[in-house]
Structure 1
Amino acid sequence: MSRLEGSIGFSRRRYGPRSRARDFFEGANESSSNEDVVGSSDSVESQDADYSSFVPSLSDELICQIWARFPSSEYWKLGLLNRWSLDLLKGGELYRIRRDIGVKEPSVFMLASGEAHWWVCDRQFRYWRKLPILPSDPCFAAGDKESLCAGTHLLVSGNQIEGVVIWKYDLVLDRWEIGPPMISPRCLFASANCGDFAFVAGGIGMGTKREVLNSAELYNRESQTWDELPNMNKQRKLCAGCYMDRKFYVIGGQDGEGNNLTCGEFFDADRNEWKLIPDMLKKDVPIATSRSPPLLAVVDNELYFLEASSNQLKVYLKKSNSWKELGKVPVRADHSRGWGIAFKSLGDELLVIGGGPCYSSSSSASTGHGMKIYTCSPDPNAESLQWRILDIGSKPTSHFVLNCAVMVA
């Protein structure tokens, strides 16, 4: 009996390796009628068949190595094969192998206005699946929330009747549960993720004083704990974060007196300290009132900024501490001063989700309604970028994105 067989109580007599291989490559192409997903195992029972006389034998380890290289958006099909496959998926072994061999695949988690469910989509937005209902109280459901990812965890922070809470969605187990609270609960904070870790910094403390914070924390998916980091140089709320050049950056925001901050700063984990970047926004980026936190995304260690008041996309020039314009994005971020727009990195692409009248390649306004999703492969040296609109059919139509987070697993 192999190590995998022993760890999950696998019986080779009933679930031979030949059965698993044959079931997957034939049964995985069968469609599901579940209306909540383009492909789902929610209402389909696993099948235990024996094709041992037809398919050459494969070891458990080899099967796991093969499946680990499949797109994770296809993993729901494993639940259709047999209980061994389902137990393997729920045990997280495939994701551990993916981390070990360096397989990374972005998935987009999104909650749009008027939707009761969160959606998870593959990077092409061809596969959409509703997550289980988040079992919070009405206060949390109706209030503002902030989201971030760490490994296979989606963390959603907000207020319930009894106070601040973090709900954690576990991709491996496909379920929501209460997650560990931050050391200093906060809202309107900056965040960024790196592999199994997520950073948060600044924001407004959720205690009685509601002070603007300069504290920072690190979430560890493996231990499911928060660790305290050194304090930033500045108190910041309505700031934004990103991970670039192996450092956690926090940019913009407002201080405790409500003054707009033009500086940025980054946390150097090797030196365990923060370094200030003066005038990171002042030279090229107008700062509007009542606007969202800066809309940032990093692709190939290049920082891109969607300036909401002009719908202009800019790339950060590190050597000169300045910004270069790359043209307008194809959605109207200025309609709600940057709120309701998702601007994210999606592997080697930029992703923007929004709605309303949009700009064509000739920069003239054209009419559009409902949610629109665009991607592009950015080039810092280009004069403008070519955006590609994705066909989402009859999926959620609200153009206002309440929360969006990208998970890489």
Structure 2
Amino acid sequence: MSASGGNCWWAFDRLFKCCRQLPELPSRDVCFIGGDKESLCAGSHLIVSGREFTEGNVVWRFELETSRWFKGPSMMDPRCLFASATCGTFGFVAGGIEMGLLGAKVLNSAEKYNPETKSWESLPCMHKKRKLCSGCFMDDKFYVIGGKDEKDMELTCGEAYNKDKNTWQLLPDMLKDEDNPVAKRQSPPLLAVVNNELYCLETSSNELKVYLKNTNTWKKLGEVPVRADLHKGWGVAFKSLGNELLVIGYSSAIANGNGNCNGMTIYTCRPEAEREELRWRCIEGYKDRLNFFLLNCCVMVA
């Protein structure tokens, strides 16, 4: 994970018993260092995408085996504000914005990263152009959900890429919710999949929901213990960690005056189908190690 107030990455083990600072990313481009970056993992590679002043959108990768950073390979369609997900050792990206000489272009293209060949492979295009969308893997499919289209209109639909058929399926109204309309989601949707079930952290209410596939609706599971609403969903990590949900951010208890920590707080829980409200476990020991506003966070299975 990488937090505001620093330019380094920190790696934590699965149980958060130990951590280490990664070697400094070697880019000296001030645009890349100070600008927004996006990240995903593919096998033992950490992929960090950003923008450099001279080259435009670029990719840096950290290889766990050698503990070294390398530049490239660039995506076939360099992009930002895209959806991403990991399946096995492969990384998938779709949508986003391509920054060109004529301005910003919203994409519907998709591609896959192979860490063994260190290369990108083009995938079929999605039905919709979309930016600020989110990705996940569920039912052995790459889902791209929400975001905005080329007219800056909110999208409540999702799409699912079937690897075996090499096709996309459009899924209407995945984020349609009369109580919390999609327009309230300022950041890309905060999604995580555990035990093949999709969970969403609603940024306007700090509420956790689980997706009911049979009815295309969402069930409320109560509030999470961090304040996702402080920055409209930005700066919060919401991930799957094996058979648990992981959320990192500014503690609700601290925000309510019940704590004295200024750094990040880490919580995990094991979702259970029979339980109406989840039990969150606070991970101690790293509260003051990083600023609570996370710029990037990835889970690597290697």
The TM tier, using the shorter chain, reads over 0.9
TM-score, normalized by length of structure 2? Answer: 0.94
Q: Equivalences for 1:20-39 in 2 at 5 Å?
A: none
Instruction: Verify the 8 A CA contact 1:356 1:369 in the aligned structure 2.
Output: no
Say whether 1:192 aligns with 2:85.
yes
Q: Equivalences for 1:193-342 in 2 at 5 Å?
A: 193-208=86-101, 209-283=103-177, 285-288=180-183, 291-342=186-237
Instruction: Verify the 8 A CA contact 2:41 2:299 in the aligned structure 1.
Output: yes
> Offset of 1:356 from its aligned partner?
4.7
Instruction: Verify the 8 A CA contact 1:342 1:352 in the aligned structure 2.
Output: yes
Quick one: which of 111, 118, 123 aligns to 2:9? 118
Which position in structure 2 is the counterpart of 1:157? 49
How far apart are the structure 2 equivalents of 1:356 and 1:270? Answer: 42
Quick one: which of 382, 392, 408 aligns to 2:285? 392
Instruction: Verify the 8 A CA contact 2:61 2:71 in the aligned structure 1.
Output: yes
Look up the equivalent residue of 1:287 and give its one-letter code: V
> Offset of 1:369 from its aligned partner?
3.2
- Change in CA separation of 1:356 and 1:349 when aligned onto 2, cut-off 3 Å: closer
Which position in structure 2 is the counterpart of 1:377? 270
Greater percentage in strand: 2
How far apart are the structure 1 equivalents of 2:212 and 2:257? Answer: 29
**Identity percentage of aligned residues:** 59
- Change in CA separation of 1:337 and 1:180 when aligned onto 2, cut-off 3 Å: same
Look up the equivalent residue of 1:118 and give its one-letter code: W
How far apart are the structure 2 equivalents of 1:135 and 1:290? Answer: 34
Instruction: Verify the 8 A CA contact 1:370 1:397 in the aligned structure 2.
Output: yes
- Structure 2 unaligned spans of 5+: none
How far apart are the structure 2 equivalents of 1:144 and 1:376? Answer: 29
How far apart are the structure 1 equivalents of 2:83 and 2:286? Answer: 33
Instruction: Verify the 8 A CA contact 1:119 1:131 in the aligned structure 2.
Output: yes
Look up the equivalent residue of 1:401 and give its one-letter code: L
Per-residue CA deviations over 1:326-348 (Å, capped at 9, x if unaligned) read 10000000000000000000011
How far apart are the structure 2 equivalents of 1:174 and 1:350? Answer: 27
Which position in structure 2 is the counterpart of 1:64? none
SS in 1 for 2:126: coil
Look up the equivalent residue of 2:7 and give its one-letter code: A
Quick one: which of 143, 150, 158 aligns to 2:35? 143
SS in 2 for 1:140: helix
- Change in CA separation of 1:359 and 1:300 when aligned onto 2, cut-off 3 Å: farther
Aligned residues: 297
> Offset of 1:289 from its aligned partner?
5.0
Greater percentage in helix: 1
Instruction: Verify the 8 A CA contact 1:288 1:309 in the aligned structure 2.
Output: no
Instruction: Verify the 8 A CA contact 2:237 2:249 in the aligned structure 1.
Output: yes
Instruction: Verify the 8 A CA contact 1:376 1:387 in the aligned structure 2.
Output: yes
> Offset of 1:373 from its aligned partner?
0.3
> Offset of 1:379 from its aligned partner?
1.6
Look up the equivalent residue of 2:143 and give its one-letter code: Y
Instruction: Verify the 8 A CA contact 1:332 1:358 in the aligned structure 2.
Output: no
Which position in structure 2 is the counterpart of 1:10? none
How far apart are the structure 2 equivalents of 1:393 and 1:353? Answer: 11
How far apart are the structure 2 equivalents of 1:340 and 1:152? Answer: 24
Which position in structure 2 is the counterpart of 1:169? 62
Which position in structure 2 is the counterpart of 1:78? none
- Change in CA separation of 1:318 and 1:244 when aligned onto 2, cut-off 3 Å: same
Instruction: Verify the 8 A CA contact 1:112 1:396 in the aligned structure 2.
Output: no
Per-residue CA deviations over 1:24-56 (Å, capped at 9, x if unaligned) read xxxxxxxxxxxxxxxxxxxxxxxxxxxxxxxxx
SS in 2 for 1:259: coil
> Offset of 1:206 from its aligned partner?
2.1
